[in-house]
């Protein structure tokens, strides 16, 4: 992302505004720097008026650079927030004030501003209108253009009942008329929360951020004591200590690098989540994603493409292949489901053709009969469906199915297919082999997850045989077959009892308890309000595999904090060597031999350290915003690499940096 002038000016203004101690108190490290800057400024002012005081220029320079340090840290936060705002504004534009037609109990309709809609209100939307608020379709069905929030241009169907009932405020209805019940009060929608999070205004520190802040505050206290006691110690040595120098030493020692960038890292993490079109309820949820041990993935839509395809027609004993294909074709012509269409296509490939007789009666699939088909005018009945259901139907008509059917059915199931039985009147003709189609590249993604230490569990309603085969083909670690909502919930609870953090995706109302129980629940935007409410993240693109990316963002968030903390602490070694000889040179001139970096003068040494300390914050802003790269290589390997880069690097870099600044100061006669 490039920053234009206006963006940087705005961020600069924010940085100045954040100098307010009431804002800065949330960040104890930078608050100490600001207090130091204030005192140094007072000293510099006194020195400037005190005629002949040699160190006025030095005091002014230190005071100025301390202010710059605070401003840089504030700037980092401001840039992160501004970036979030840019993204949030884009989202918010979809929320621009719309009119809503509120539906009263008596059926009357009143036109109101969308902002006045409360949870539980109902409103009517027709083709061409914007949906005024988040809610659930309770009446009718419509195609909706959700491109405003998802970027996906193809319209989607939203209808009452079922798992496709949720609509989002700001999206447009393209056809038909629906009645929507509002599911959130103004200001509480996912979008509102997300905007609040990235703008920093309502950002709460995450648990890990709080723990790190405590550590940083503790370190600050230790260094505060170390530097404050130096004043009496120097006094004992017969020297009057220079307060400005002490402040400079303190600011260099306390962990300003991580202290200055900590909140920017957090905001940028949320921002990266949002850039993936996922709305998170809290930073805590994103952080938890980094810790996930077990990932529950729905088979359909995640592991496999949503629909099964007919791949073979296994002819029953005594039946004729061409006849069976023709029957399969006829039985599926009216079936508009993807499975039905794939059966018709398969039959056509096997030579069947023709059109539906006009006088045929279509028997639709129902959850009760678990089969579908046609009844022809000549009394011929064709059925296809779950083997046991169709067998029952055959027997009810006095037929006796061929004996080899059971074998075929079992074999297909064992191989991971779904067997459908095809029958005409009282005779079984064939078994249709429906196969799941695996999504491409999923095996690699599961391998990557395994390398991260995450176990994937595929959840499916299939029987254990089918599930085992698909699980093996897809490369997931485990599966839950014949999953009911209760079984899912029990699985999550069992994993959690073992101390594992569980993430899952879901969209249906019956997923809601499991989504709520999971540590990280990612609901699909297309899902029901119940699912979205139970989850702590919503994926606007309704792509269940998105969870993998969120896990990586969570890990990056923690890694960036750890890397910069290590870097910040390692920096101290060089700073001691830069500043201490300079601090003590006045008390004990022999101490000059500790000046291993051969910095020009005590003043230039201290100033160089302070300048380096400020500049390193700016230099690391891009890293804080981007995050440390995450590669799943195993913890020990990752630790070694990062320890080398940020630990050893943090040890060496300031020696070089401070020396360079010192050389520049000398070259430009600034000492």
Instruction: Select the span of 46-54, 118-126, 145-153, 493-501 touching other proteins (CB under 8 A).
Output: 493-501
Span of 341-349, 367-375, 446-454, 611-619 interacting with other proteins by CB under 8 A: 446-454
Smallest gap from Cβ 53 to other proteins, in A, equals 25
Catalytic residue flag (residue 298): yes
Integer Cα distance of 298 and 468 in angstroms: 14
Residues contacting 539, CB < 8 A, separation 6+: 277, 278, 505, 522, 523, 524, 525, 546
DSSP string over 320-360: -HHHHHHHHHHHHTT--SHHHHHHHHHHHHTT------TT-
Q: Which stretch binds other proteins (CB under 8 A): 233-241, 276-284, 314-322, 419-427?
A: 233-241
498: contact with other proteins by CB under 8 A: yes
- Our finding on whether 235 is near other proteins (CB under 8 A) is yes
Which of residues 113, 222, 362, 652 is near other proteins by CB under 8 A?
222
Burial (CB < 10 A; 0-12, 13-18, 19+), residue 92, is middle
**Tokens 């996922």, residue located:** 278
| Bridge partners (DSSP) listed for residue 181 | 122, 136
Q: Which of 446, 479, 646, 655 binds other proteins (CB under 8 A)?
A: 646
Residue 207 contacts other proteins per CB under 8 A: yes
Pick from 109, 115, 214, 664 the residue near other proteins by CB under 8 A.
Answer: 214
Residue 202: burial class (beta carbons within 10 Å; 0-12, 13-18, 19+):
exposed
Residue 212 or 352 with smaller CB distance to other proteins:
212
Question: Which residue number, 161 or 634, has a Cβ lying nearer to other proteins?
Answer: 634
Q: How far is CA 87 from CA 196, 244, 471, 608, in A?
A: 12, 42, 38, 38
Torsional class of 598: left (φ above 0), alpha (ψ -120 to 50), beta (otherwise): left
215 binds other proteins (CB under 8 A): yes
The smaller minimum CB distance to other proteins, of residues 226 and 364, is found at 226
* List 638, 663, 666, 670, residue binding other proteins (CB under 8 A): 638
* Binding residues for other proteins restricted to 27-56, rule: CB under 8 A: none
Residue from 9, 187, 634, 656 binding other proteins (CB under 8 A) = 634
Residues contacting residue 217 through CB under 8 Å, at least 6 positions apart = 28, 29
The catalytic residue among 242, 298, 572, 662 is 298
- The smaller minimum CB distance to other proteins, of residues 16 and 221, is found at 221
Options 9, 48, 90, 221; binder of other proteins; rule CB under 8 A = 221
SS3 417: strand
**Which residues are CB-neighbours of 476 under 8 A, at least 6 positions away?**
297, 303, 446, 456, 457, 458
Query: Is residue 260 a contact partner of residue 617, using CB atoms and an 8 Å limit?
Result: yes
Q: Which is nearer to other proteins, 41 or 566 (CB)?
A: 566
- Interface with other proteins, residue 210, by CB under 8 A: yes
Instruction: Assess 219 for contact with other proteins (CB under 8 A).
Output: yes
- The least distance separating other proteins from the CB of residue 262, rounded to whole angstroms, comes to 12
Selected range binding other proteins among 33-41, 228-236, 307-315, 604-612, rule: CB under 8 A: 228-236
> What is the Cα–Cα distance from 71 to 53, expressed in whole angstroms?
28
211 vs 377, which CB is nearer to other proteins?
Answer: 211
d(CA 181, CA 166): 10
Residues in region 537-596 near other proteins by CB under 8 A:
554-556, 558-559, 561-563, 565-566, 569-570, 572-573, 576, 580, 583-584, 587-588, 590-591, 593-594
Q: Name the residue among 409, 410, 385, 382 with its Cα closest to residue 397.
A: 382
Whether the Cβ atoms of residue 86 and residue 50 lie closer than 8 Å to each other: no
Site for other proteins in 359-378 (CB under 8 A): none
19 binds other proteins (CB under 8 A): no
Query: Nearer Cβ to other proteins, position 32 or 413?
Result: 32
Q: Quick check: 652 binds other proteins (CB under 8 A)?
A: no
Please report whether residue 452 would count as binding other proteins according to CB under 8 A: yes
Give burial (CB, 10 Å; 0-12/13-18/19+) of 588.
middle
Q: Given the rule CB under 8 A, which of 235-243, 309-317, 322-330, 613-621 is the region that contacts other proteins?
A: 235-243
Q: Does 643 contact other proteins by CB under 8 A?
A: yes
Q: How far is the CB of 550 from other proteins (least distance, A)?
A: 13
* 640 touches other proteins (CB under 8 A): yes
Least distance between other proteins and beta carbon 393 (Å) = 50
Those residues whose C-beta lies under 8 Å from the C-beta of residue 202, and which sit 6 or more positions away, are 193, 196
Instruction: Give me the DSSP letters along 161-207.
Output: STT--EE-TT-EE-SSEEEEEE-S-TT-SHHHHHHHHHHSTTPPPPH
- Encoded one letter per residue, x for contact with other proteins by CB under 8 A and - for no contact, window 288-317 reads --xx-x------------------------
Q: Are the C-beta atoms of 167 and 144 separated by less than 8 Å? A: yes
Q: Mark residues 183-202: x for contact with other proteins by CB under 8 A, - for none.
A: --------------------
Residue 64: in which H helix or E strand, if any? helix 56-93
* Angle formed by the axes of helices 243-253 and 207-228, nearest 10°: 150
* CB of 200 or CB of 562, closer to other proteins: 562
What residues contact 477, with CB distance under 8 A and at least 6 apart?
Answer: 446, 450, 455, 456, 457
Is 491 near other proteins (CB under 8 A)? no
Nearer to other proteins, 74 or 571 (CB): 571
Asked if residue 127 binds other proteins (CB under 8 A), the reply is no
Active site residues: 298
């Amino acid at each position: 992302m490039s920053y234009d002038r206006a963006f940087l000016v705005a961020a600069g203004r924010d940085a100045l505004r954040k100098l307010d101690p009431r804002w800065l108190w949330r960040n104890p490290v930078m608050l100490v720097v600001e207090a130091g800057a204030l005192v140094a400024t007072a000293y510099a002012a006194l020195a400037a008026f005190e005629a002949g005081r040699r160190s006025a220029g030095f005091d002014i320079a230190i005071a100025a650079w301390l202010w710059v340090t605070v401003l840089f840290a504030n700037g980092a936060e401001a840039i992160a927030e501004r970036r979030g705002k840019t993204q949030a504004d884009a989202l918010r534009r979809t929320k621009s004030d719309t009119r809503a037609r509120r539906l009263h109990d008596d059926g009357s309709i009143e036109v109101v501003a969308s902002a006045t809609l409360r949870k539980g209100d109902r409103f009517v939307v027709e083709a061409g209108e914007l949906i005024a608020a988040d809610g659930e379709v309770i009446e009718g069905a419509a195609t909706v253009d959700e491109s405003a929030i998802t970027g996906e241009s193809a319209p989607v169907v939203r209808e009452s009942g079922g798992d496709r009932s949720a609509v989002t405020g700001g999206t447009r209805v393209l056809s038909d008329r629906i009645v929507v019940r509002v599911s959130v009060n103004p200001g509480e929608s996912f979008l509102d929360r997300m905007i609040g999070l990235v703008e920093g205004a309502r950002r709460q520190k995450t648990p890990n951020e709080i723990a790190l802040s405590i550590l940083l505050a503790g370190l600050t206290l230790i260094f505060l004591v170390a530097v404050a006691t130096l004043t009496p110690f120097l006094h004992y040595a017969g020297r009057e200590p220079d307060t400005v120098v002490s402040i400079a030493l303190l600011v260099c020692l306390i962990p300003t690098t991580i202290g200055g960038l900590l909140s920017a890292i957090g905001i940028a993490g949320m921002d990266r989540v949002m850039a993936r079109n996922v709305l998170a309820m809290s930073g805590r949820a994103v952080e938890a994603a980094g810790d996930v041990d077990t990932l529950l993935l729905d088979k359909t839509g995640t592991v496999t493409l949503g629909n099964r395809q007919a791949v073979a027609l296994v002819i029953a004993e005594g039946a004729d292949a061409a006849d069976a294909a023709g029957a399969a074709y006829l039985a599926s012509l009216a079936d508009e489901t993807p499975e039905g269409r794939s059966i018709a296509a398969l039959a056509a490939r096997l030579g069947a053709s023709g059109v539906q007789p006009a006088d045929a009666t279509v028997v639709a699939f129902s959850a009760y009969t678990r089969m579908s088909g046609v009844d022809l005018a000549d009394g011929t009945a064709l059925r296809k469906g779950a083997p046991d259901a169709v067998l029952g139907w055959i027997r009810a008509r006095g037929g006796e199915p061929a004996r080899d059917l059971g074998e075929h059915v079992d074999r297909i199931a064992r191989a991971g297919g779904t067997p459908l039985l095809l029958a005409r009147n009282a005779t079984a003709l064939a078994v249709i082999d429906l196969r799941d189609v695996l999504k491409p590249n999923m095996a690699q993604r599961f391998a990557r997850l395994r390398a991260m230490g995450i176990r994937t569990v595929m959840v499916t309603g299939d029987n254990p045989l089918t599930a085992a085969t698909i699980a093996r083909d897809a490369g997931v670690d485990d599966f839950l077959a014949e999953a009911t909502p209760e079984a899912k919930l029990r699985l999550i609870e069992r994993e959690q009892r073992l101390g594992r953090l569980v993430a899952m995706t879901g969209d249906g109302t019956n997923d809601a308890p499991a989504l709520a129980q999971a540590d990280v629940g990612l609901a699909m935007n297309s899902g029901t309000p119940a699912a979205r409410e139970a989850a702590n993240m919503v994926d606007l693109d309704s792509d269940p595999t998105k969870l993998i990316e969120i896990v990586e963002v969570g890990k990056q968030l923690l890694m960036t904090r750890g890397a910069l903390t290590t870097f910040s602490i390692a920096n101290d070694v060089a700073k001691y060597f830069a500043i201490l000889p300079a601090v003590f040179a006045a008390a004990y001139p022999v101490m000059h031999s500790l000046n291993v970096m051969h910095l020009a003068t005590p003043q230039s040494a201290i100033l160089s350290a302070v300048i380096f300390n400020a500049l390193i914050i700016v230099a690391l802003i891009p890293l804080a915003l981007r995050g440390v790269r995450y590669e799943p290589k195993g913890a020990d390997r990752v630790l070694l690499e990062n320890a080398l880069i940020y630990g050893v690097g943090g040890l060496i870099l300031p020696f070089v940096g401070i020396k360079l600044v010192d050389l520049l100061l000398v070259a430009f006669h600034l000492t």
